[in-house]
Amino acid sequence: MMSFSRRLLDWYSKNRRPLPWRDTTSPYHIWLSEIILQQTRVEQGIGYYLRFAEAFPDINSLSAATEEQILLLWQGLGYYTRARNLHAAAKEITQNRRDAFPQTSNEWIKIRGVGPYTAAAIASIAFREPVPAIDGNVYRIFSRLLAVEESIDSQKGKRIIHDIAVKLIDRNDPGAFNQALMDFGSLVCKPVNPDCQRCIFNNECHAYALKTVSDYPRRKQKKANRKRFFNYFFIYFQTLDGNPRFCIQQRKNEDIWKHLHEWPLIETQKAVEESTELLSTGFLKDCFPGGNGFTLMGAPLRMRHQLTHQSIFAVIYIIRAEPSFEKKIKKYFRLVQRDEFDELAKPRLIENACQKINAFLNSATSI
């Protein structure tokens, strides 16, 4: 019988997805694609990869870019730590390694933002190191194929899958083997509604024989989702040219969206029922003593934004401030106009809310 790896590679030669980073062995472009694809669907990642490859065609141009340029191009992809790590790693490679890329997975894993899977993927594809790149697709395929009862969240479960992959990997073309598993998991052995009838391994798949495919891979209980309540304040000053200026700030701490730009924010432990509770607290109390100097414009906007383990419930209050309060407010926040804000990196939540804010401003200035 033909070996597992040969059958898989034969399937891959006929069914592989035509991805823009597939026809290169350039470690730079393979590394770039792998970082972008972390926690990202391939369909979404393609556009970002093409834009990054065009803006920064080599590691020197990426290293020379500013963080603001990187974050702006990354905007909307989420998990912004990846972008900052990518930038830091580019500087590390150009400055400390004299542009020399690591060639083994053990070397790659020392690079900022590169974990075991990414290290193995780059080393196997760019340098043909016979090391398995194990992601969710691989865990799913082998868990079902052999009905592995150990949780893939456990060290024992991970070791079992790793040992299986090491035994089966094609040593002549490990990069193609790893990419074939990725495509097979995405196209056939899918998380939901797997195409078992078309699976080339269904005759020996234990889970298929037992009719328990949906039960694999085994997992521990999922991490609880955290709810957060963000109260944003879009504070603007009307101008004679009809292009209002408004307050923004840059996130500084180690929380989500580090270094991205947003409107002034008060985070609360629960949803706030009455706006008066907020309008007389924090920076608003200092900026508008006695509750004077501003007008609350209509009902607040309400939005929800879902992250991997966090649900953000956002309320956006639109506030028109009186010109005489500008000097006091500028002690706390930066004032920008719409075209300036467009050039700054911001969370997807803010980006989506901007459409509604702009619609409001257009209607307000036309009155």
Which residues contact residue 31 at a Cβ distance below 8 angstroms, ignoring those fewer than 6 apart? 101, 114, 118, 122, 126
* Residue 143, token pair as written in the block: 């868990």
* Residue 173, token pair as written in the block: 């073309």
Could you give the residue ranges of the DSSP H alpha helices within the chain?
4-15, 27-37, 42-55, 59-64, 67-74, 81-96, 105-108, 116-127, 136-146, 155-168, 174-187, 206-210, 276-279, 282-287, 326-329, 338-342, 348-365
**Closest to 262 (Cα-Cα) out of 170, 330, 203, 348:** 348
**Closest to 260 (Cα-Cα) out of 53, 36, 67:** 67
DSSP state of 219: -
Is residue 36 a contact partner of residue 118, using CB atoms and an 8 Å limit?
Answer: no
Q: For residue 61, how far is the Cα from the chain centroid? A: 22
CA dist 139 and 39 (Å) reads 16
User: Of 34, 54, 204, 322, which one is the catalytic site residue?
Assistant: 34
Active site residue 343: no
Residues marked as catalytic: 34
